[in-house]
Chain A
Amino acid sequence: MEELNCETVFTLPVLGDISESVVVTWIIMAVLVILSIIFVRNLRVENPGKVQLALEAAIGWAQDFFEGIIGKENRRYVPYLITVLLYLAAANTLAPLFGFKPPTKDLNVTAALAIMSMFVIEYSGIHKNGVKHWVKHFAEPVPVVAPITVLEIVIRPLSLCMRLFGNMLAGFVVLELLKFFVPLIVPIPVSFYFDIFDGLLQAYVFVFLTALFMTEEME
Chain B
Amino acid sequence: MISINMSLVYTIINLVVLFLLLRHFLFTPVMNIMEQRRKLIEDGLKHAQDAQDDANRMKQEYEKALSGAKQESVQMIEDARRNAKAEYDRIVGQAGDEAGSIIESARETVRIERDKTMQELQSQIADLAVASAARIIGRKTEDQGNQDLYDQFLKEAGESHGDADK
Interface residues of A (CB under 8 A from B): 4-6, 15-19, 21-22, 25-26, 29, 32-33, 36-37, 39-40, 43-46, 48, 52, 55-56, 59-60, 63, 79-80, 82-84, 86-87, 103, 106-109, 111-113, 115-116
Contacts and interface: CB of A to CB of B under 8 A. Distances in A.
Contact of B30 (A18, A32, A43): A43
Contacts of A55: 30
Nearest to B1: A4
A22 B14 contact: yes
B34 A108 contact: no
Contact of B11 (A4, A60, A80, A113): A113
Contacts of A40: 25-26, 29-30
Contact of B18 (A21, A29, A44): A29
Contacts of B34: 56, 59-60
Contact of A86 (B5, B22, B33, B37): B22
B3 A107 contact: yes
Given A19-B5, A25-B11, A32-B22, 5 more contacts: A25-B14, A43-B33, A79-B27, A83-B23, A111-B8
Interface residues of B, number: 32
B10 A15 contact: yes
B40 interface: yes
A59 B30 contact: yes
B23 A108 contact: no
Given A4-B1, A16-B6, A79 B22 contact: yes
B19 interface: yes
Contacts of A87: 15, 18
A102 to B, nearest CB: 13
B149 interface: no
B126 interface: no
A34 B40 CA distance: 29
Nearest to B37: A45
11 contacts: A22-B14, A29-B21, A37-B25, A40-B29, A56-B33, A79-B23, A83-B15, A83-B18, A108-B3, A111-B4, A116-B16
A103 B14 CA distance: 12
Contacts of B25: 33, 36-37, 40
Contacts of A80: 19
B69 interface: no
B137 interface: no
A32 B12 CA distance: 17
Contacts of A83: 15, 18-19, 22-23
A112 B33 contact: no
Nearest to A38: B25
B31 interface: yes
A59 B10 contact: no
Contact of B10 (A18, A39, A56): A18
